[in-house]
Amino acid sequence: MNAGLPVLSRSVRSKPSVPVRPWIRLQRTPFERPKATVEWAELIGRVAAHGDRDAFRLLFEHFAPRVKGLLMKIGTDRETAEEIAQNTLLAVWRKAAQFDPSSGGAAAWIFTIARNLRIDAARRAMRQARADQPDAVDDADDIVESPEMLMTRSEDVSRVAAALLRLSDEQSKVVRMSFIEERPHAEIAEVLGIPLGTVKSRIRLAMNRLRDLLDEPT
Amino acid sequence: MTISHHPPDELIADFATGRLDEANHLVVAVHLTQCPACRRFAGAMEHLAGAALEASEPVSMRADAFEAVLAKLDQPQPAPRAEVSSPSTLPDEDLPEILRRCRFGKQRRVAPGLKMQPIILPSASQSRAFLLWSAPGARMLQHSHSGTELTCVLKGSFSHEAGRYGPGDFDFGDGEVDHQPVVGPEEPCLCVVAMTGDLELHGLLGRMISPFVRL
């Protein structure tokens, strides 16, 4: 399918313990297609096209421990995190054909799968707790199914990708740490080596810039 | 449709990372279906969450994890659960798709010119969601909230100190807000609301009727 594939799998295999961070590479080489992102996307493509188990193993070895790690960091217990990480990769296998490589976000796609599974798990636990109450009504149906990813329109996808490319590394980092990882401002100040008083204004500036960039037509 | 009021950034980030309670999640989702700008913003948050996933500290999986998943690859997928159909209680309104998939309780009158219909969310832990109709020109009782109130306008409009809210607009109220919305005169106003905590009604009338107003 692609002449570059043998090289691709070798390069991923040869350094299994080095975390590949497509995001950071994306920042450094804004005018090239981000290589690492293409690699994960290619692997998902191979799973979709041929049920390629070698490709799946690479995806599993890279993402499952990270899903588990991220979930545990945000307070999920080890057992549940393990289960969700396994099911996330199982869903990657089953839904590989639904992944849109042009979105450029294999990690984002896998994140949304893990997120939805975590929401499902929390809801099941809540229903279980209710069912244990004496006056509980049996309501086992999932009412609102969350879509895999919010953006299904390609226009949206390309605008978001373009906006994120134009956000500086520093700005995307500060937004990520504050809004996604919910780190306290003091910790952000320490990581970025800026005064505590600057953190808030920098977050605000980054958010405004992101909003502006998202509003621009591509 | 021009949308001029949006959810706070933090709320959209919480939505994108799956941190919202079910009712709040639903009302933010309704706004996102109406608002391309916020949808893109939420998409950007998902991408940054992907970056956070890449950057997260890996934790070793159980030794047999990969084999366990491999064993499941060829098993048939469980059939998706049948959709819950509840035509009898679905309100007679042109609702966004995401709401038409919900299950509804019984419609009831709350106060003169004000009726509501609960949305049945079995897994909501702290918040509850409902549709709220208010008559054109109705002046709501002055109230504040002990928790939060997330509102997305579906039809008609209302106004309070922060401005006018039309279809697609999102209003975020928390304990600090004390307001008296007035419904626009043009048509009944329909909103989807997620609420935590209780309403606190003010004024003599509010105190008199508050035992009867249950939202």
Task: Supply the pLDDT for residue B7.
Answer: 96
State yes or no: pLDDT of A140 exceeds 80.
no
Taking the Cβ of residue B204 and every Cβ of chain A, the question of whether any pair is shorter than 8 Å is answered with no
Compute the average pLDDT of residues A167-172: 89
CB B142 within 8 A of CB B203: yes
- On whether both A40 and A123 belong to a single domain, the answer is yes
Selection from A161, A194, A156, A163 nearest residue A177 by Cα: A194
Nearest to B56 among A69, A89, A150 (CB): A69
Domain ranges of chain B: 1-215
Query: CA triplet A208, B3, B147: central angle to 5 degrees?
Result: 80
A202 to chain B, closest Cα gap in Å: 15
Helix (H) or strand (E) holding A62: helix A53-73
State yes or no: pLDDT of B97 exceeds 80.
yes
- On whether both A121 and A198 belong to a single domain, the answer is no
pLDDT in tens, A172-194: 999 999 988 888 999 999 999 99
Taking the Cβ of residue A113 and every Cβ of chain B, the question of whether any pair is shorter than 8 Å is answered with no
- The Cα–Cα gap between B7 and A81 comes to 30
State yes or no: pLDDT of A34 exceeds 50.
no
DSSP state letter for A30: T
Name the CATH superfamily, with its identifier, for domain B1-215.
Jelly Rolls (2.60.120.10)
Residue A42, CA distances (Å) to A4, A5, A27, B96 in order: 10, 8, 20, 36
Total domains present in chain A: 2
pLDDT in tens, B29-58: 999 999 989 999 999 999 999 999 999 999
Helix (H) or strand (E) holding B151: strand B149-155
Taking the Cβ of residue A159 and every Cβ of chain B, the question of whether any pair is shorter than 8 Å is answered with yes
Task: Supply the pLDDT for residue B76.
Answer: 78
CB B110 within 8 A of CB B215: yes
Dihedrals phi, psi of B150, to nearest 5 degrees: -110, 125
- At B11, list the tokens: 């709320």
- The Cα–Cα gap between B140 and B116 comes to 14
CB B41 within 8 A of CB B11: no
- On whether both A71 and A82 belong to a single domain, the answer is yes
Prediction ipTM score: 0.80
Q: In one letter, which amino acid is A45?
A: G
Nearest to A23 among B51, B102, B124 (CB): B51
- On whether both A3 and A61 belong to a single domain, the answer is yes
B97 to chain A, closest Cα gap in Å: 11
- Domain of residue A36, residue span: 1-150
Crossing angle (nearest 10°) for helices A53-73 and B36-55: 100
Q: Which has the higher per-residue pLDDT, A161 or B150?
A: B150
Last residue of a domain, one of A150, A179, A204: A150
Contact across the interface for A63 and B102, Cβ inside 8 Å:
no
- The Cα–Cα gap between B106 and B191 comes to 16
B198 to chain A, closest Cα gap in Å: 21
Any residues with CB less than 8 A from the CB of B206 and at least 6 apart, and which?
B141, B142, B143
Taking the Cβ of residue B123 and every Cβ of chain A, the question of whether any pair is shorter than 8 Å is answered with yes
- On whether both A103 and A173 belong to a single domain, the answer is no
Task: Supply the pLDDT for residue A12.
Answer: 38
- The Cα–Cα gap between A63 and B187 comes to 52
State yes or no: pLDDT of A14 exceeds 50.
no
- For chain B, give the percent of residues with pLDDT over 90: 50
Any residues with CB less than 8 A from the CB of A193 and at least 6 apart, and which?
none
- On whether both A111 and A142 belong to a single domain, the answer is yes
CB A199 within 8 A of CB A191: no
CB A55 within 8 A of CB A89: no
- On whether both A95 and A196 belong to a single domain, the answer is no
Task: Supply the pLDDT for residue A217.
Answer: 66
pLDDT in tens, A35-59: 555 589 999 999 999 999 999 999 9
Taking the Cβ of residue A210 and every Cβ of chain B, the question of whether any pair is shorter than 8 Å is answered with yes
Contacts 24+ apart (CB under 8 A), B102-111: B102/A143, B102/A144, B102/B26, B103/A141, B103/A143, B104/B131, B110/B213, B110/B214, B110/B215, B111/B141, B111/B209, B111/B212, B111/B213
Compute how many other C-beta atoms are within 10 angstroms of the C-beta atom of residue B59.
19
Q: Which has the higher per-residue pLDDT, A126 or B86?
A: A126
Task: Supply the pLDDT for residue A154.
Answer: 60
